[in-house]
Amino acid sequence: MSSFEDADTEETVTCLRVTVYHPGQIKSGIFQSIRFCNREKHPSSEVVKFGRNSNICHYTFQDKQVSRVQFSLQLFKKFNSSVLSFEIKNMSKKTNLMVDNRDLGYLNKMDLPYKCMVRFGEYQFLVEKEDGESLEFFEALFIMSPRPLVQENWPAHRPLPEYSSTIPPYSTQTTSPTEMDENE
């Protein structure tokens, strides 16, 4: 028998993909301690903290306006479910955290949707979850966006922008799609 046949089956790992934006990200080096485009593995029991204190936080922001611990993410599994979920908790006494259009005050927490916008101050994070099978680990992948992820003047009921389409986000296209019979 070869070692290939005896090897453990490789499990997929849940990944949290975080696209970040701040208007001062290039000039001030706010995100200089974050390793972009690199999957970082974390034990599933770990509470991942974001803030400016490098002794406590896994991901730090070089900005005095950010709390020592701004927010945290924790992996959990809902009762009678095999799917892993994340919980986000606001750890800042001074700044509320916006998750999509929900306002989280100090110590408030909620389940993180599969795809959502997390904001505080001028910080914007598009957070997307990719499901995996492993119960031991999860990964975090950070990407820096060159442009804002959300505009304050967009109506709140509209969906998050998708940059992969050929129609610009939130276009004012007036034509409606036409239905075609598959035999046409």
**How far is the C-alpha of 16 from the C-alpha of 125, rounded, in Å?**
11
Domain assignment present for 150: no
Q: Quote the pLDDT of residue 15.
A: 94
Q: Quote the pLDDT of residue 4.
A: 52
CB atoms within 10 A of CB 140: 21
Q: What CATH code is carried by the domain that includes residue 82?
A: 2.60.200.20
Domain assignment present for 35: yes
> How many structural domains does the chain have?
1
Domain assignment present for 153: no
**How far is the C-alpha of 101 from the C-alpha of 157, rounded, in Å?**
9
Contact 120, 95 (CB under 8 A): yes
Domain assignment present for 38: yes
Domain assignment present for 20: yes
Question: How is residue 26 written in tokens?
Answer: 């290039």
Task: Output the tens digit of pLDDT for each of the chain's 184 residues.
Answer: 556 566 556 788 999 999 999 999 988 889 999 999 999 999 999 999 999 999 999 999 999 999 999 999 999 988 888 888 999 999 999 999 999 999 999 999 999 999 999 999 999 999 999 998 888 999 999 999 999 998 654 444 444 444 444 444 444 444 444 555 555 4
Domain assignment present for 168: no
Domain assignment present for 19: yes
**How far is the C-alpha of 44 from the C-alpha of 41, rounded, in Å?**
9
Q: Quote the pLDDT of residue 168.
A: 45
Q: Quote the pLDDT of residue 7.
A: 55
Residue 62, domain extent? 11-144
**Close Cβ partners of 136 (under 8 Å, ≥ 6 residues apart):** 43, 44
**How far is the C-alpha of 37 from the C-alpha of 57, rounded, in Å?**
19
Domain assignment present for 163: no
**How far is the C-alpha of 176 from the C-alpha of 161, rounded, in Å?**
19
Can you say how many angstroms the Cα of residue 163 is from the centroid of all Cα atoms in its chain? 16
